[in-house]
A and B are shown apart, each in its own frame.
Chain A
Amino acid sequence: MVKRKAVLKNNVYMKYFVVLLFTTNIFCFAQSPEFHYKTRNSQTFRIRPGTEKTFHYVSMDKKDIVENTLFSIDNETKKLVIPENGFYEISGSFRFNPSTSNIRYNRGGLNFGIVGINAGVEQYVAATRKSFDKDDQDDFSIIVVYPTIVYLQKDVVVAPAISAGLIGNVLLGCELGCGKQKSCTSFEWKIKRISNEEGHQKYY
Chain B
Amino acid sequence: MKKVIRNIIKGLILFFCFAGKAQEPSFYIRSIRSIHLEDTAGILQPLRFKEVDVVYNKIVQMSADNITVGSNGTYEVSAFANINPGVMGSSSKDSIQMELYLIKNYKKPGETILGSSKFGFTYGNFDVASGLHIAPAKVQLYSGDDLSLYVKILPTSTIGINKSAKYDHVTKPTGMDQIAGMRIVKVSE
Contact = CB atoms under 8 A, between A and B. Distances in A.
Contact of A163 (B32, B128, B175): B175
B124 A168 contact: yes
Contact of B175 (A106, A148, A164): A164
Interface residues of B, number: 45
A84 interface: no
A109 B185 CA distance: 30
A147 B78 contact: yes
Contacts of A133: 122, 124-125
Contacts of A141: none
Nearest to A54: B175
A195 B131 CA distance: 28
A127 interface: yes
A111 B173 contact: yes
A25 B55 CA distance: 27
A109 to B, nearest CB: 4
B178 A14 contact: no
Interface SS majority for chain B: mixed
B130 A131 contact: yes
Interface stretch (B22-30, B66-74, B102-110, B153-161): B22-30
B122 to A, nearest CB: 5
Interface in B40-77: 55-56
Interface string A143-166: 010111111000000000001111
B80 A146 contact: yes
B183 A146 contact: yes
A165 B26 CA distance: 30
B82 interface: yes
B176 A124 contact: yes
Given A106-B124, A146-B135, A202-B32, A130 B129 contact: no
Given A146-B135, A168-B124, A194-B23, 10 more contacts: A6-B1, A10-B1, A13-B4, A108-B125, A109-B129, A124-B176, A129-B173, A130-B130, A151-B55, A204-B177
